[in-house]
A and B are shown apart, each in its own frame.
Chain A
């Protein structure tokens, strides 16, 4: 089982009845796996804050609840995350947050552990899939015992590492009735009274941390002491099996007395932690200063057994072979037939300023398109475009995916419509959440469990905001796409172009019969115009462009760009 599968299994065993989240690598598979259990109502929500709010309701209503998100998702859900602890919970409420050290598929490398400290909620972190399964149950018990949300932190490495995991049967958790006490749950009115309660709870949690079984010491060499957590624990065991190790399972609040006792046994103690020096900082706050931590273990990127060995021994990590040979970088590319390609090729041609968003289409900022000039976080494109317009830029296009639009783009479009901002928004409706691996969303017509759902009608929705210029195009049709974008830009008010064509990797698209194109070498003038598509089906072979038939899905974009008409339907060649 992968770490994510193990967490889903453990949550099911612990009697979880409701689970909600929004996709985000590396958290996505937790909810996808929960959806396979019939006892659990699992759903994709429009964004992480919505999922969190739904989770709060379910947990107060008495159902054990898990909400899932990647680290940046917690930023979106931060508002309720900071307030709900003032109330606490009724049934167990666990918030799974997956950090991505190394930024394998993320826009930043934030260490979400600090959130737990700000919100004053306990934070647990497992070290492998087997431990994750057990610890998620402990998280629910902890949540109910102290009536607090519990943050459960994982990282990419934990989420996507497979290992052997034992399993057990599900234990149903009885629904706990909700008692209507405004003085506990209507926070803005009663916050002053709840504030000292929160502090009392934290004090009790500190005491709990001292005896939590997820913290343990493995005795070894009495001269080498290591404090560690999560995945870095595995690296320590790998490279320094002889060390005396204090493995932390609860990261906030930390067991102060136990750490003081442990560290007093050594001259210096290594604190091996990934990302920031969170544990080290807390320990410094306790007055434990005989430690070596971030001085030796970088806060940038993911740790590894090599980096941990280097930090412990003061040695360096062997280099790769890039000194001797051209190890060219290999960024991902838009797939053959990707619906986004036609939009970016057109935007490049028009030369307009493009504010972008997060998804597969973020690749529009790379060659051969270079047609996206800003990208930050989900939903930012439309607001950024408004700002550029206010700063005096008159030809601005915002590009946003369908899932991203529903997640956080909609409020910005409402603002743009309300303020009559003459920008053009291109909504890339490829019928799926592509980047994270094809999750359903409110625009696709299906829910997480695969049953039919109403699909958002974008045209009606957007018109209802007061946007008068709304046009739908097929991005495989380059002429129509260019015409539509130009007319959007010419429109004096806000305009929205919906570029609609399914992601070619969706199973129903893959199952279709495709036409394909081929290059006629006698006609080819070797101008390389076709490579301006950046299509992975096109390769150089025997000194000519060649189209790999198995990749080509027949979008015809290369044929459209070829000035010599040397690219033709394979069936007619």
Chain B
């Protein structure tokens, strides 16, 4: 089985690292060799955060090569652009249709509002998902990460029972049902 490469990107505080941990745990529970290399520098909010999850029969490097990523899961539009060069030609970009303005340090260009169109123009298979809206609707904007993970799950070869068990194992009791609903909602948004 060839290695599947997933890159998860977002803004600090959005839960990109948790999403990648869930994916890594699920892939491991599904019997795959997994490496997950994450960047979590500082505790504060707001910086760019990314994490690679790679799984297959045998995985060496913790981060995928540029042009090798099968799925980019972006919790924010600008962050999708930042890591799009990692995606294979024709690969899938699942992007939260959500904008977080960065603080300006020097670069005064306007925010690239056309990010989704731009990525489509590059030939990627772009799936724009209203994950934050969905999460707010479900009661907590912070579960947008799990909504997106649900969308991604539809394209991966990891059985639903494994996902369910992983959520139960990793998510604290009081947040479990919320996250289960977020995951289910995300699956419904995959268009599949």
* Also in contact, A366 and B82, with CB within 8 A (given A326-B109, A334-B44): no
Chain A residues with CB under 8 A of B48: 330
Interface range on chain A: under 10, 10 to 19, 20 to 34, or 35 or more?
35 or more
Chain B residues with CB under 8 A of A234: 60-62
| Interface flag for A287 (CB, 8 Å) | no
Q: In the complex, what's the smallest C-beta–C-beta distance from A311 to chain B, in angstroms? A: 13
| Interface flag for B120 (CB, 8 Å) | no
Expressed in whole angstroms, the Cα–Cα distance for A239 and B3 within the complex equals: 13
Contact between A164 and B34 (Cβ–Cβ < 8 Å)?
yes
Question: What secondary structure prevails in chain B residues at the interface with A?
Answer: loop
| Interface flag for B123 (CB, 8 Å) | no
| Interface flag for B91 (CB, 8 Å) | no
| Interface flag for B24 (CB, 8 Å) | yes
Number of B interface residues in the complex (CB < 8 A): 53
* Also in contact, A157 and B28, with CB within 8 A (given A330-B46, A330-B47, A333-B103): no
| Interface flag for B170 (CB, 8 Å) | no
| Interface flag for B2 (CB, 8 Å) | no
Expressed in whole angstroms, the Cα–Cα distance for A456 and B142 within the complex equals: 36
Contact between B61 and A235 (Cβ–Cβ < 8 Å)?
yes
* Also in contact, A331 and B105, with CB within 8 A (given A309-B65, A550-B141): yes
Q: For residues 65 through 109 of chain B, which have their beta carbon under 8 Å from a beta carbon of chain A?
A: 65-67, 78-79, 81-82, 84-85, 100-107, 109
Q: In the complex, what's the smallest C-beta–C-beta distance from A166 to chain B, in angstroms? A: 13
Q: For residues 296 through 354 of chain A, which have their beta carbon under 8 Å from a beta carbon of chain B?
A: 304-306, 309, 317-321, 324-336, 338
Chain A residues with CB under 8 A of B115: 325
Expressed in whole angstroms, the Cα–Cα distance for A325 and B64 within the complex equals: 23
Expressed in whole angstroms, the Cα–Cα distance for A368 and B105 within the complex equals: 9
Contact between B44 and A104 (Cβ–Cβ < 8 Å)?
no
Looking at A332, A338, A438, which has the most chain B CB atoms within 10 Å of its CB? Answer: A332
Expressed in whole angstroms, the Cα–Cα distance for A330 and B9 within the complex equals: 12
Choose one: B13, B40, B61, B141; the contact of A238 (CB below 8 Å).
B61
Chain B residues with CB under 8 A of A327: 78, 81-82, 112
Interface string of B20-43 (1 = CB under 8 A from A): 010010001000011111111111
> A340's closest neighbor in chain B, by CB?
B44
| Interface flag for A360 (CB, 8 Å) | yes
> A363's closest neighbor in chain B, by CB?
B44
Looking at B13, B34, B46, B64, which has the most chain A CB atoms within 10 Å of its CB? Answer: B46
Expressed in whole angstroms, the Cα–Cα distance for A334 and B79 within the complex equals: 19
Contact between A305 and B85 (Cβ–Cβ < 8 Å)?
no
Q: In the complex, what's the smallest C-beta–C-beta distance from A370 to chain B, in angstroms? A: 10
Chain A residues with CB under 8 A of B141: 550
| Interface flag for A167 (CB, 8 Å) | no
Expressed in whole angstroms, the Cα–Cα distance for A9 and B11 within the complex equals: 31
Looking at B37, B59, B61, B118, which has the most chain A CB atoms within 10 Å of its CB? Answer: B61
Q: In the complex, what's the smallest C-beta–C-beta distance from A557 to chain B, in angstroms? A: 16
| Interface flag for A162 (CB, 8 Å) | yes
Choose one: A104, A325, A326; the contact of B39 (CB below 8 Å).
A104
| Interface flag for A237 (CB, 8 Å) | yes
Expressed in whole angstroms, the Cα–Cα distance for A512 and B25 within the complex equals: 32
* Also in contact, A367 and B62, with CB within 8 A (given A161-B37, A325-B118): no
Contact between B21 and A436 (Cβ–Cβ < 8 Å)?
no
> B109's closest neighbor in chain A, by CB?
A326
Expressed in whole angstroms, the Cα–Cα distance for A366 and B105 within the complex equals: 7
Chain B residues with CB under 8 A of A319: 85
Interface string of A272-307 (1 = CB under 8 A from B): 000000000000000000000000000000001110
Contact between A436 and B43 (Cβ–Cβ < 8 Å)?
yes
The segment out of A180-188, A201-209, A410-418, A534-542 that lies at the interface is A534-542
* Also in contact, A331 and B41, with CB within 8 A (given A326-B110, A539-B101): no
> B142's closest neighbor in chain A, by CB?
A550
Interface residues of B (CB under 8 A from A): 11-13, 21, 24, 28, 33-48, 59-67, 78-79, 81-82, 84-85, 100-107, 109-112, 115, 118, 122, 141
Given contacts A163-B59, A333-B45, A360-B42, 8 further A-B contacts (CB under 8 A): A161-B37, A163-B35, A234-B62, A327-B112, A330-B103, A333-B103, A360-B44, A366-B103
Provide 14 A-B residue pairs closer than 8 Å at the C-beta atoms, listed in order of the A residue.
Answer: A161-B38, A162-B21, A162-B24, A164-B33, A234-B61, A320-B85, A321-B81, A327-B81, A335-B44, A336-B45, A367-B103, A367-B105, A436-B43, A550-B141
